[in-house]
């Protein structure tokens, strides 16, 4: 996958592709029979060399996604440089960890919005109206909190969801400090609960993919199963709990 000058190489590991040793519920060591990622990395390095381009190995990262606590896999080498495998990586502004838990991302998003929250305080003291501050909040805070939400919001645990919601409560109380009731704040500023807003954001994205057969994710939409009466369709089954949290299963 490419976006501007960012290239991401990925592969789904099948059992037939690897040898697994020291496998327990908490950790596993895997070694590839023939590592497809190493082949792709070597190809990319050779392509850059042929086309007189510099491949920056210091900015290259490797990550293995797994339901196990820890995975030790065969290292990837580019131009005699071993690429360190990380427990989390940043891809187009989104932090992914090995287990698709996004607590770190939530903290990063909240941290990024703090200067804007401070700006709201300054603007309110300068006499800017609440309606204008609400627009500022949507442009400078809500846009960051909802960035790429379909890729991470379905996986959030309840604690992280509450953390996001509490951050929005703080922002709205900065806009209207005289109002303490959260529902009243939402109503007066024509906003909705943040978790509801993010859920609708994900749902709209799923509907967009469903209606676009040419969309790259269209083939990942699960096929519903037929009920006993062969008429009513039921939610598709999923193999792991993690898959059940994914975008298309959770917002099917």
Q: How far is CA 143 from CA 102, 157, 230, 250, in A?
A: 18, 21, 43, 23
**228 within a domain of the structure (yes/no):** no
**Nearest-angstrom CA–CA distance, 108 and 102:** 10
Same domain membership, residue 189 and residue 109: yes
**26 within a domain of the structure (yes/no):** yes
Q: Which of 1-10, 64-73, 233-242 has the highest mean pLDDT?
A: 1-10
Last residue of a domain, one of 160, 176, 202: 202
Q: Which residues pair with 31 in a beta bridge?
A: 19
How do residues 103-117 score in pLDDT, each as one tens digit? 999 999 999 999 999
Domain encompassing residue 8: 2-86
Q: Is 174 exposed, middle or buried (0-12, 13-18, 19+ CB in 10 A)?
A: middle
Q: How confident is the model at residue 72 (pLDDT cuts 50, 70, 90)?
A: low
SS3 106: helix
Q: What value does the mean pLDDT take over residues 90-98? A: 87
Instruction: Select from 166, 151, 241, 240 the least CA-distant residue to 198.
Output: 151
**223 within a domain of the structure (yes/no):** no
Q: What value does the mean pLDDT take over residues 169-175? A: 95
**Under 8 Å between Cβ of 170 and 117:** yes
Same domain membership, residue 117 and residue 67: no
**Nearest-angstrom CA–CA distance, 44 and 248:** 32
Same domain membership, residue 67 and residue 155: no
Same domain membership, residue 107 and residue 73: no
More confident residue, 145 or 66: 145
Is the predicted pLDDT of residue 118 greater than 60, yes or no?
yes
**56 within a domain of the structure (yes/no):** yes
Same domain membership, residue 132 and residue 195: yes
Taking the whole predicted model, whether its pTM rises above 0.85 is answered as no
Domain count, the chain: 2
Q: What value does the mean pLDDT take over residues 195-214? A: 92
**187 within a domain of the structure (yes/no):** yes
Same domain membership, residue 119 and residue 183: yes
More confident residue, 212 or 4: 212
């Amino acid at each position: 996958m490419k976006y501007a000058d960012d290239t991401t190489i990925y592969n789904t590991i099948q059992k037939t592709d690897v040898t697994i040793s020291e496998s327990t519920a908490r950790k596993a060591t895997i070694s590839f029979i023939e590592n497809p990622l190493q082949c792709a990395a070597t190809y990319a390095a050779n392509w850059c060399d042929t086309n007189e381009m510099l491949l920056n190995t210091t900015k290259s990262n490797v990550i293995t996604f797994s339901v196990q606590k820890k995975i030790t896999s065969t290292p990837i080498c580019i131009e005699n440089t071993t690429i360190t495998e990380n427990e989390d990586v940043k891809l187009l502004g989104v932090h992914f960890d090995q287990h698709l838990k996004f607590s770190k991302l939530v903290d990063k998003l909240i941290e990024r919005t703090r200067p804007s929250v401070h700006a709201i305080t300054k603007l309110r003291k300068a006499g800017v109206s609440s309606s204008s501050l609400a627009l500022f909040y949507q442009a400078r805070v809500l846009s960051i909190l909802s960035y790429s939400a379909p890729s991470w919001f379905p996986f959030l645990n309840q604690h992280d969801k509450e953390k996001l919601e509490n951050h929005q409560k703080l922002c709205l109380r900065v806009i209207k400090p005289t109002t303490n009731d959260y529902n009243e704040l939402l109503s007066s500023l024509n906003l909705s609960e943040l978790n509801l807003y993010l859920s609708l954001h994900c749902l709209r994205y799923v509907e967009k993919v469903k209606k676009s057969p040419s969309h790259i994710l269209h083939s990942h939409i699960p096929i519903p199963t037929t009920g006993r009466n062969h008429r009513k369709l039921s939610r598709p089954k999923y193999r792991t709990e993690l898959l059940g949290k994914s975008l298309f299963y959770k917002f099917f």
